[in-house]
Amino acid sequence: MQKWTKSPAAPQQVSLLLFDDFSNHCLANALEPLRAANTILGRPVYHWQFLTPTGEPVQSSSGLPILPHGALGACGPCDIFMVIASYNYRALSTPHTLTGLRRAARSAGLMAGLDTGGWIMAEAGLLEGREATVHWDALPEFEERFLGVSAQRAPHVFDGDRATCAGAMASFDFVLRLIEARHGTALSVDIESFFLRESRNLQLRHGPVSRDRLVAAALDRMRAELETPLPLPAIARQLGCHEKQLARRFEAALGASPGKVYRHIRLTAAKRIVEHTGIEIAEIAVRCGYENASALSRAFRLRYGCAPSAARRAARARSQPSRL
């Protein structure tokens, strides 16, 4: 059973090794969930730095330049080390890079290869005897070249302190799994909602909270019906299941009841509106399915420890430029 929430954790350090011709999409999908986690929790639970093999700038496959924080050889200990490569991956496994990767692996809690990053990890001997995946275009050749690696046709693979991810689209789900394992399912639900709120009809079909299709469909309905929350029996009928079955599936997938998850989604939406708009609290209450401003304020205080007005003032203070 998933943990719905977990105790606050100390910040984690994430190092991202980039090569020329890396995918913008892959980098964004790896980085934005971490940034969203910091935003939603209101504190930095992830710090990150960009590295390149030599410390020189690199360009993505579409020409986006990245100025790194340092070189691979100067990388210190970190909690998560991500190797992000996309095109021309065969030429990237230089002796200098492979030596640097082996050194980095000794001081990283988890080393992960994204897109074709797993190929370079395998060249360094870091996946020997492990299960792993790479971008599906490279997988047949990967299987033939690295006989000591158990190649898997999967979006992402975890094997001890090694992990691999098959491409840019899978990277978002992969990082969500890391966040979920450390902070609980509630935060991963919030992050999905954060990125899906502009389109009610989109779903992450392979993400941590979407592995159960029934749960994913129920979440989609909950997100779409904030102002007039649907009764749980009505959601179950729409999905062609019994309310008790829906409850069991939620507990198994998320570690919480459908009602608790629904309230969480509505209150998260309310907080977002409070912090990013000037809409009156009474109107926000209506938009998020609360009877009145008092009902919203009570729920808000229980979850966030302050009134909505105080949260709004704090958000505005954070957005003000500092004065020297």
Q: Give residue 179's pLDDT.
A: 95
User: Taking each helix axis from N to C terminus, what angle separates 243-254 and 213-224, rounded to the nearest 10 degrees?
Assistant: 100
Q: Are the C-beta atoms of residues 150 and 9 closer than 8 Å to each other?
A: no
pLDDT at 165 over 50: yes
- Rg for the chain (alpha carbons), in Å? 22
Q: Give residue 209's pLDDT.
A: 55
Mean pLDDT of 10-23: 96
Check residues 324 and 243 and name the one with the higher pLDDT.
Answer: 243
Mean pLDDT of 54-64: 95
As a whole number of angstroms, the distance between CA 296 and CA 310 comes to 13
In tens, the pLDDT along 132-160 reads 999 999 999 999 999 999 999 999 999 99
Check residues 170 and 320 and name the one with the higher pLDDT.
Answer: 170
Q: What pairing do the DSSP bridges indicate for beta strands 58-59 and 65-66?
A: antiparallel
As a whole number of angstroms, the distance between CA 103 and CA 16 comes to 15
As a whole number of angstroms, the distance between CA 45 and CA 15 comes to 14
What pTM did the predictor assign? Answer: 0.83
Q: Give residue 113's pLDDT.
A: 98
pLDDT at 320 over 80: no
Q: Give residue 208's pLDDT.
A: 53
In tens, the pLDDT along 251-305 reads 998 989 999 999 999 999 999 899 989 999 999 999 999 999 999 999 999 999 9
In tens, the pLDDT along 26-48 reads 999 999 999 999 999 889 999 99
In tens, the pLDDT along 73-118 reads 988 999 999 999 999 899 999 999 999 999 999 999 999 999 999 9
As a whole number of angstroms, the distance between CA 89 and CA 160 comes to 24
Q: Give residue 3's pLDDT.
A: 77
pLDDT band for position 6 (cuts 50, 70, 90) = confident
In tens, the pLDDT along 198-220 reads 433 334 344 455 578 899 999 99
Q: Give residue 210's pLDDT.
A: 56
Q: Over pLDDT 90: what percentage of the chain?
A: 80
Spell out the SS3 assignment of 11-44: CEEEEEEECCCECHHHHHHHHHHHHHHHHHHCCC
Question: Within the chain, how many helices (H) and strands (E) appear?
Answer: 13, 11
- CB-neighbour burial class of residue 162 (10 A; exposed 0-12, middle 13-18, buried 19+): buried
pLDDT band for position 193 (cuts 50, 70, 90) = confident
Q: Give residue 217's pLDDT.
A: 93
Q: Give residue 308's pLDDT.
A: 96
Q: Domains of the chain by range and CATH? A: 12-179 (3.40.50.880), 212-311 (1.10.10.60)
